[in-house]
Structure 1
């Protein structure tokens, strides 16, 4: 009888230790995974743009030739929208006037990649890649960017 009681007490202690460790682990990892998300949301708050005053300018569809691992031609169709300040008519006109430049940058950026690597990218990653390329080329040309964001309206692969 004593052995049964002692065994039950030992099992209870082990259960408490294991359960407590598991609860601590879940809590620790849940809080560590939420921390970067909170930081991202705070940095996004700093970059907020009033979309009520923004204008969305669609670029014509851009066809990009990609090569797959077998060196076959594959195609990607992407439609880009640049977001400009609706209160500044000069900047919005400049976006429209520079459409060929922006399309050229998109083609140059994406066509240098393989089909497989582009297919692995999420639309948000393509957006970030194109926006970084646009900003880099515009800065290299000593121009002020007339847009403040880029959106991907459509992506089609063949």
Structure 2
């Protein structure tokens, strides 16, 4: 009589294998997908030369269009990283941490132009970094 296995098929295991995303990682992925479009909208406003932003003497003063393109590019990178995290890709976590940290720094530099927006997005970016750097339950069990 042949022995049957009670194991559930796991699928291919490799560098691009996806796992079920839950908890803090899912929160970070969704928050990346929220922070990205916010940065894209901020970038579009800057590129359009919107009068929404205050102008002042500041050490990190760039042309508003340059700030717009910078925020637009970071926003797209945040969305791509968010999709990677939500899809459970192995590169998503590292990309999410990196891009959220870059976004946090650029938002800090942008505070004089639009403080309420910058501080809000900085808080989102900080939550993303915190969520992605936590040990997941599978990591803490040695998987």
TM-score of the aligned structures, taking structure 1 as reference length: 0.24
Larger radius of gyration: 1
TM-score of the aligned structures, taking structure 2 as reference length: 0.25
Structure ranking higher in helix proportion: 2
Structure ranking higher in strand proportion: 1
Which one has more relative contact order, counting CA pairs under 8 Å at least 6 apart?
2
